[in-house]
A and B are shown apart, each in its own frame.
Chain A
Amino acid sequence: MLQEDPQSSLLYLITLALLGVGAVVWMANWARRRAITRVIGDVILDLRKEAFRATASHDMSFYDEHASGKVVSRITSDTQEFAQVSILLAELTTQMVQVIILIIVLFQIDVRLTMIVLAMLPFLFLASWGFRRWARSVIRRAMRAVANVNASIKEAVTGITVAKNFRQEEAIYREFESVNRQSYSVNIRRGFVLALVFPTLNALMFVGTAIVIFVGGLSAAQGAIAVGAWYLFLRSVDRFWFPVLGLSSFWSQIQGGLSAAERVFSLIDAESAVVQTAHLQVPKLSGEIRFTDVDFRYRPDEPVLEAFNLTIEPGEDLALVGHTGAGKSSIVKLVTRFYEFQGGQILVDGLDIRSLDLRDYRRQIGLVPQNPFLFSGTVLENIRYARPNATETEIGDLAHRIGSGEWMEALPEGLQSEAGERGKLLSMGQRQLVSLMRVLIQRPAIFVLDEATASVDPFTESQIQQALQLILADTTSILIAHRLSTVRASDRIIVLRHGSIIEEGDHERLLSSGGHYAELYNTYFRHQSLEYVQQSRAAALAASTD
């Protein structure tokens, strides 16, 4: 058109149109990005919320089997990956629409040239498909190598004391170095393959352009198409290649986004082993617990409890004694309904434990676990975790009832001291005390102590005992013992072996019956006796002079 009418005033109109198009594109783009950002932001928020809600309702057997880091990464990183892919997808959709419009435009300009361009497509797709297969294996290897490096760093950071104690820094550094170098060489290969993709596709694409120039130019010279149309075609083809390239090379990312979504859904859909048949409101419990013919196993081939029967009376203090693996902790895990049992029945105040509203029920159960877990924040915040409205004076009073509060004085700022990440600024014993207070302030109907004071020194522990006796006078309590001295005050002691009760009764009775408990008790005291010490010393000396 320029040729035919070079002086046309149409020129200014076209310029104006170009300006207008530029502005419209920019504004439409702005509206599109704004909308899509909000949509994706909200979708991801919903997805995360749902994923965490589902995760929080999975039972404890789920957490035994799955490393927490991986669960976290599904909720945050996988959803993030999905979001990024969604944005990418939105971009690609725009470009796809463009491609379709362009194809229509191209066809209108010249059918033959368009066919040439379209004929190039299979080659492009074939090339990118080949790359994808190749890239898949190198990327996977590279990701594994990086994961190894990260694991190596994490281990060094968590185990740093051991490394320092044994002065093994150089050795673990050398190990890290070799993992790191290996990861580098694998990643270089990955980099090479990926760096190859665009140049190759580019070169292919320009072969197409060259053909169009040649064929189109010939046709134009012969007058088969207008020179203007030919030019227009070349310009449009340029716009056409770009999204096609994008589509073929981002395909793997889209696949990645879909599998990220798949991982999140799997997490949401993971079936809980603990299934409640109903959600009955739980009245104030008196604390009677009855196990009837209960079968329980963690794994199908390893029964822990079989046809187990036990009745705990309201207000009773029950102690469980036995070796590791005898089933003490399992009883606690069933009472707290952290795990599903396979046969029989458990009744709490005559109600089937399967029919209760779990949150309602657990509010009345106070579990002090073996490994105390504290959240970052102050000691005070940790204590009032389950009862945020507990007053500071109330907590202070309670703290003073345990050994007249001496343990608190060891904290730099008393109740306001920072506990640190997972409580690491406190000693093990302090953590157990905080974890205990957290339950005490909740005033549960059933109190469960799972070796809860094993790291507390005996002096503090005896003070805890005194405090507990006051607080727990009317409460049912189940105590897994770690020190025989703490067991003696219990109303009833149950000795477990391989999942069955071999002895029961109070301290005096068990001791006089001369069974397993008596043996345990005597061994314990034998260890404390002077004769035992001297005997061991002699044995040790004899062995060392061999």
Chain B
Amino acid sequence: MGFFADLEREDYDRTYSDLELVRRLATYFRRHGGKLAVTLLATLIVASAAASSRVVV
């Protein structure tokens, strides 16, 4: 899939589907659920505040 994949191919390299990759990465992120929730909340605040600042003016 990737951009540079064939640059440094090794014979043990395998191709994962994007879904597989994301799912596997998710297992690493899962145990940080709390912090991710904070992030998401903060993101929403930042985004809506930024958007609303346009509305206010």
Co-assembled chains A and B: yes
Given contacts A105-B54, A262-B1, contact A32 B39 (CB under 8 A): yes
Query: Beyond A28-B49, A236-B54, is A46–B28 a contact (Cβ under 8 Å)?
Result: yes
B 1-39 to A, binary, CB cutoff 8 A, 1 in contact else 0:
111110110111111101001001100110010011011
Partner of A261, one of B10, B14, B21, B51: B21
> How close is B45's CB to chain A, nearest CB, in angstroms?
4
For residue A333, give the distance in angstroms from its CB to the closest CB of chain B. 20
Report 27 cross-chain contacts, Cβ distance below 8 Å, ordered by A residue.
A18-B53, A21-B50, A21-B56, A25-B53, A28-B43, A29-B46, A31-B42, A32-B46, A36-B35, A39-B36, A70-B8, A90-B39, A93-B43, A98-B46, A98-B51, A136-B3, A139-B4, A144-B7, A232-B57, A236-B51, A236-B54, A255-B1, A255-B3, A258-B21, A262-B1, A263-B8, A266-B13
Residue pair B39, A36 in contact (C-beta under 8 Å): yes
Which listed residue, A70, A101, A270, touches B47 by the CB 8 Å rule? A101
Q: Are B53 and A97 in contact (CB under 8 A)?
A: no
Measured between beta carbons, the chain B residues less than 8 angstroms from A21 are: 49-50, 52-53, 56
Cross-interface CB contact of A232 among B4, B13, B15, B55, cutoff 8 Å: B55
Which of B's residues lie within 8 Å of A, judged by CB? Answer: 1-5, 7-8, 10-16, 18, 21, 24-25, 28-29, 32, 35-36, 38-39, 42-57
List 9 additional A-B contacts (Cβ < 8 Å) besides A18-B57, A70-B10.
Answer: A24-B45, A39-B29, A39-B35, A143-B7, A232-B54, A232-B55, A236-B55, A259-B2, A262-B1
B39, chain A: closest CB distance, angstroms? 5
Docked Cα-Cα span, A42 to B29, in Å, equals: 9
B54 pairs with A35, CB closer than 8 A:
no
Is the C-beta of A267 less than 8 angstroms from some C-beta in chain B? yes
* Set of chain B residues within 8 Å of A262, measured between Cβ atoms: 1-2, 5, 13-16, 21
Q: How far is the CA of A108 from the CA of B8 in the complex (A)?
A: 50
A81-104 near B? 1/0 per residue, CB < 8 Å: 000000000100111011001100
Q: Mark A60-92, 1 if CB is under 8 A from B, else 0.
A: 001001100010000000000000000000100
| B57→A32 contact, CB < 8 A | no
Flag if A269 contacts B14 (CB, 8 Å): yes
Residues of the B chain whose Cβ atoms lie less than 8 Å from the Cβ of A236: 51, 54-55
Contact A140:B4 (CB < 8 A) given known A39-B35, A46-B28: yes
Chain B contacts of A269 at CB under 8 A? 12, 14
**How far in angstroms is the closest Cβ of chain B from A379?**
36
Residue interface mask A257-287, B partner, CB < 8 A = 1: 0111111011101110000000000000000
Chain B facing A: main interface SS = helix
Q: Which residue of B lies closest to A82 (CB)?
A: B25
Task: Indicate which residue in B3, B18, B32, B56 contacts A18 across the interface (CB closer than 8 Å).
Answer: B56
A511 at the binding interface (Cβ < 8 Å): no
Known contacts A28-B45, A139-B3, A258-B2; is-contact A35 B12 (Cβ 8 Å): no
Q: A215-261: which residues lie under 8 A (CB-CB) from chain B? A: 232, 235-236, 239, 252, 255-256, 258-261
Residue A17 at the chain B interface, CB threshold 8 Å: yes
**Is the pair A102, B55 in contact by a Cβ cutoff of 8 Å?**
no
* B11:A65 contact, CB within 8 angstroms: yes
Task: Report Cα–Cα, A38/B49, bound state, in Å.
Answer: 24
Q: Please tell me if A47 contacts chain B, counting CB pairs below 8 Å.
A: yes
- Is B57 a contact partner of A256 (Cβ separation < 8 A)? no
| Known contacts A43-B28, A94-B43, A270-B12: A256-B54 contact under CB 8 Å | no
Q: Is the CB of A101 within 8 A of B51?
A: yes
Minimal Cβ-Cβ distance residue in A for B1? A259
Q: A235-B57, A258-B18, A259-B4 are in contact. Are A266 and B10 (CB under 8 A)?
A: yes
Contact for A25 among B21, B35, B50, CB less than 8 A: B50
Max chain A Cβ within 10 angstroms of own Cβ: one of B2, B3, B12, B50? B3
The smallest C-beta distance from B3 to any residue of chain A, in angstroms, reads 5
A267, closest chain B residue (CB):
B12
- Smallest distance from the beta carbon of A254 to chain B beta carbons, Å? 10
**Complex Cα spacing A235 to B51, Å:** 10
* Bound form: Cα–Cα A95–B35 in Å: 19
A517 to chain B, nearest CB (A): 41
Inter-subunit contact B49/A24 (CB<8 Å):
yes
**Considering the chains assembled together, what is the distance between the CA atoms of A39 and B32 in angstroms?**
6
